[in-house]
A and B are shown apart, each in its own frame.
Chain A
Amino acid sequence: MKSIAICLLALGAAAPAALAQDVFALRVGRAETISQGTLEHAVILVEGGVITVVGQDLPVERGIPIVDLPDAVVMPGLVNCRTRIGVDSRGGGGADLTARASAELYPRQDVWAELLEVGVTTLGIYPPGTGIPGLAVAVKPEGETASEMIVKDPAYLQFYLRSDRSSKKLFTDAFDKLDKYLEKVEKEREKFEKDLEKEKDKEKKDAAVFKPSQPDDDVRPLLDLVTGRLNAVIGIRKAGDWLHLLDVLKERKFEFALQCDLRDDLDLFYIKDEVGKRGLRVIFDPRVVQHPSTRRERNLPAEFVAAGAKLALSPRADSVRAHEDWLQEVGELVRYGLDRQVALRAMTLEPAHVLGLGDKLGSIEAGRAANFVFYDRDPFDPAVKRLGVMIGGRFVSGDLGL
């Protein structure tokens, strides 16, 4: 690792002029890299808003500006993959697979700056309503226009599944449409191949390309889903919903995260082994809840992780205040037994994966966006102070020396 880093630095030195304004190094007391755990005396090289090198006690080429924070702890900018903050429309209860939360985006609100201030650098905004409300969008909380804010659109398809007939019917009806489309394409292909056999002109034969008909707009997201181009988030409200979800999904395969608002009396622990065995990602709010009909406390996020699930944690509400408290509430789960690294990951890389951005941001490693939050000590220490926030290699809060 170290030797590669030095090598890269040497390459960088070959063209110092080109990098002069774009390149800088961060030297911090400790980096919570998420992907490689905790790195003491970390050096992070940022080029053009993207992390290029991460290492321990690396020498930095002369001429590259250094942000030297020997007492600071840095972690990736926080990612909340599921929120309705900054948007306020209401939704219905049907299925609208074409609805996009990005259409609701309203830039230049105070709330975005406030979110940046508390260290949130990526947000997943989901469409309103129940049933199948539509497509979520991933944004960064800055930008003059909606398109400047958008990081990925659509980020995921939002579903809700309840243990009742109408809810399950929405699912099956939507996927029936997809099946019909796929059947149609299959027939088209058979016809195409038959026609191709009949074709005598070899040149034409070689040049022929199968062009299936385009799917309808309300089928396209499902097609993206089953081909791995789009994730889904499926919201449930109790353990029983999970079995009904399996019942409607049957043999369908696609990437999805399971979401549930935690509350007292929730019976979700019944399904943790099944969910964990499948290595699913779950999205919870950071809450210690009471076992049904008792005052016995349960750390459901930790239980699901122990069972094998991947965990993303969202703030408990769609307010700036909740985003500000987020870190401490996750810290509370850590004090209740959640693994510290898992907890950090649950606010950064895992939600990034939910948004389909796991290879772009959410950790401190080469190739990821230079989104950072700086703290004066361990982030879960109740006395922690936030020193600054950086997005795309720019400080947007605090001024730590660049």
Chain B
Amino acid sequence: MRALSWMAVLAAAIACTAPLALAEEPLPALAAGQRGVAVHAARVVTVDETDRVFEPGMVAAVDGRIVYVGAPAGVPEGYEQHRRDEAWAVPGMIDLHAHVLSGGFGDINDMVLSVGPELSTAAAIVPSNRGLRTACAAGVTTLFLIPGSGTSIGGFGVLYKTHTRSTFENAVFANPGGMKVAQTHNPERRGGDLGLTRAGLSWVLGNINDRARAATTAGAEDFALANLQKIHTGELPVLIHCAGSDGAAATVRMWRGTYQTRSVLSHGSLGGHRVAAYAARMGMPVNHGPRTQDYFVSRTGAVEPTAFHYWNSGLPNFSLNTDSPVIPQEELFLQGSMSARQGVPGSQALRALTAHPARAFGIDHRLGSLEVGKDADLVLWSGNPLDPRSRVELVLIDGELQYDRTVHGQWF
């Protein structure tokens, strides 16, 4: 294992210092029936662990998986080739908090049960809907399409790729992809239901979690709790909507502290950034947005750059979301721009839109960066992807061309 990684160092060093020295073809020849694609760009931003950049660079994939990332190299016959000599190649962006199941709001809140771990958004997704297509044309390739926050547990969401012409089965990445919880605020209930207060909300969540955990320990099968049990076995992640410092703290305490789930704190706005250090200490990823700043909440008189605060707090994993369509799905990149405006370094802001959300959800072995073996979800931008002035030239998902500006016209 160690030897292998040393070899990788050596290979990388050669690739970097003397790219032209690589005479032999690193790309495999295509076997019959295999589908190969090679993309040439002015700059390949891998967003891998060491933030490698290749200028110029090339990414190649066979049957949807990346087989080569590096300096331009010879391409064997049969590969579909795309060349954008001015463009940056960047991993497709990932939004862990998206509601564009059918293109806009709607079909996301089933308000009858205050906890609904049996529910799933899978039934509500309209494949290739307009929201998904525009997202794709804006470089967003994977969405966690989730229920709303009207109830304590809205149900399970689907990890979905923004294929522009596809069936549900082809576009789905993981179903269920994870659970959606609303810790505070929105699920507060009126009219005598349990859950009028934070105490009630907390009990509702604690009660069902305890039942699921007990069932898991006992090896019992409970149809209603089957999916929730996967949260407690660590099989699936959970995304928790919360706001305010109390809400954010309660989220970390319950889902990291008490239940030790693979949990991601979402939003964390309206003062939640004051809990960032606690979340960092507990190793809890934060998926921040759509609000990335606070005006006067803390009464310092300053505009609080909350995205910067989270990033700067030493969190293991900081990502950004749109809560689409609160912010249109296609403007996910602008959440990165606005964070960079606050002082988050550009490379880190890009990471918060790619590698970090993938890692937070445990799907980083396939998504979030341009590395050999991962899904060929690749976007070519005319320049810096955080700059609103840059446009998306080309989008590949699973190595398949989804959008080409020169062919399809500019969608966004």
Interface residues, chain A, with chain B CB atoms under 8 Å away: 290-296
Write the chain B residue with the least CB distance to A296: B301
Nearest to A290 among chain B residues (CB) is B299
- Residues 270-311 of chain B, each 1 if its beta carbon lies under 8 Å from chain A, else 0: 000000000000000000000000001001110000000000
9 residue pairs A–B, Cβ–Cβ below 8 Å:
A290-B299, A291-B301, A293-B296, A293-B299, A294-B296, A294-B299, A294-B300, A294-B301, A296-B301
A291 to chain B, nearest CB (A): 6
Q: Which residues of B contact A296 (CB under 8 A)?
A: 301
> Shortest beta-carbon distance, A288 to chain B, in Å?
15
Residues of B near A294 (CB, < 8 A) are 296, 299-301
Within 8 A of A (CB), among B299-347: 299-301
A290 contact set on B, CB distance < 8 A: 299
What A residues does B300 contact at CB under 8 A? 294-295
The interface residues of chain B lying within 8 Å CB-to-CB of A291 are 301
A291 to B300, CA, bound (A): 9
Give the docked Cα–Cα distance between A295 and B300 (Å): 6
CA distance A291 to B301 in the complex (A): 8
Interface residues on B, range: under 10
In the bound complex, CA of A290 to CA of B299 (Å): 10
Binding site secondary structure of chain B: loop
Closest A-B pairs by Cβ, 9 of them? A294-B301, A293-B296, A295-B299, A293-B301, A294-B299, A294-B300, A291-B301, A293-B299, A292-B301
Chain A residues contacting B299 (CB-CB under 8 Å) are 290, 293-295
Measured between C-beta atoms, what is the minimum distance from A306 to chain B in Å?
22
Give the residue name and chain of the A residue nearest to B299 (CB).
A295
CB distance from A170 to the nearest CB of B (A): 34
Please give me the residue from chain B that is nearest to A292 by CB atom: B301
Residues in A with CB closer than 8 Å to B296 are 293-294
Complex Cα–Cα for A294 and B301 (A)? 5
CA separation between A180 and B300, bound complex, in Å? 52
Question: Nearest Cβ distance between residue A167 and chain B, in whole angstroms?
Answer: 29
Shortest C-beta distance, B271 to chain A (Å), equals: 14
- Residue from the set A291, A293, A294 with the largest chain B CB neighbour count within 10 Å: A293
A195 to B44, alpha carbons, bound, how many Å? 100
Q: Whole-angstrom distance from the CB of A19 to the nearest CB of chain B?
A: 63
> Please, which residues of chain A bring their CB within 8 A of the CB of B301?
291-294, 296
A263 to chain B, nearest CB (A): 15
- Nearest Cβ in chain A — how far from B297, in angstroms? 10
Docked Cα-Cα span, A294 to B304, in Å, equals 12
Give chain B nearest CB distance to A24 CB in angstroms: 56
Question: Considering the chains assembled together, what is the distance between the CA atoms of A290 and B301 in angstroms?
Answer: 10
CA distance A293 to B301 in the complex (A): 5
> Bound state CA distance, A292 and B299, in angstroms?
9
Residue ID in chain A nearest B296 by CB atoms: A293
Interface residues of B in 333-388 (CB under 8 A from A): none
A89-B299 Cα distance, complex, nearest whole Å: 39
Known pairs A291-B301, A292-B301, A293-B299. 10 more at Cβ < 8 A? Answer: A290-B299, A293-B296, A293-B301, A294-B296, A294-B299, A294-B300, A294-B301, A295-B299, A295-B300, A296-B301
A293 to B300 alpha-carbon distance, docked (Å): 7
Q: Choose among B296, B299, B300 the residue with the greatest number of A CB atoms under 10 Å from its CB.
A: B299
| C-alpha gap A252/B292 in the complex (Å) | 51
Minimum CB distance partner of A294 in chain B: B301
Residue of B nearest to A295 (CB): B299
The distance in angstroms between the C-alpha atoms of A93 and B299, with both chains bound, is 35
A296 to B301, CA, bound (A): 9
B227-248 CB mask vs A (1 if < 8 Å, else 0) is 0000000000000000000000
Measured CA separation A250–B80 after assembly (Å): 78
Question: What is the chain A residue whose CB lies nearest that of B300?
Answer: A294
Task: Report the bound CA distance from A214 to B184 in whole Å.
Answer: 73
Query: CA A295 – CA B301 in complex, angstroms?
Result: 8
Q: How far is the CB of A267 from chain B (nearest CB, A)?
A: 12
Q: How many Å lie between the Cα of A291 and that of B299 in the bound state?
A: 9
Report the bound CA distance from A292 to B302 in whole Å: 10
Q: Smallest Cβ distance from A152 to chain B, in angstroms?
A: 44
- Taken together as a complex, chains A and B put the C-alpha atoms of A91 and B301 apart, in Å, by 37
CA distance A296 to B299 in the complex (A): 8
In the assembled complex, the Cα of A68 lies from the Cα of B296 at a distance in Å of 58
Q: A290–B300 Cα gap in the complex (Å)?
A: 11
Interface residues of B in 41-85 (CB under 8 A from A): none
Minimum CB–CB distance for A316 against chain B, Å: 22
* B301 to chain A: closest residue by CB: A294
From B303, which residue of chain A is reached at the shortest CB distance? A293
With the chains together, A10 CA to B296 CA distance in Å?
Answer: 69
B302 to chain A, nearest CB (A): 8
Nearest CB in chain A: distance from B299 CB, A = 5
Q: How far is the CB of B53 from chain A (nearest CB, A)?
A: 42
Contacts of A293 in B (CB 8 A): 296, 299, 301
Q: Mark B164-195, 1 if CB is under 8 A from A, else 0.
A: 00000000000000000000000000000000
How far is the CB of A183 from the nearest CB of chain B, in Å? 51
Given the complex, which residues of B lie within 8 Å of A295, measured CB to CB? 299-300
Cα distance A101–B70 in the bound complex, in angstroms: 88
A143 to B299, CA, bound (A): 50
Once the chains are docked, how many angstroms separate the CA of A285 from the CA of B206? 52
Name A264's closest neighbour in chain B (CB-CB).
Answer: B299
| Shortest Cβ gap from A268 to chain B (Å) | 16
Tell me, rounded to whole Å, the shortest Cβ–Cβ distance linking B270 to chain A.
Answer: 15
CA distance A302 to B300 in the complex (A): 22
Q: Report Cα–Cα, A292/B295, bound state, in Å.
A: 12
CB distance from A343 to the nearest CB of B (A): 28
Name the B residues within 8 Å of A292 (CB-CB). Answer: 301
User: Roughly how many angstroms separate A292 CA and B300 CA in the complex, as a whole number?
Assistant: 9
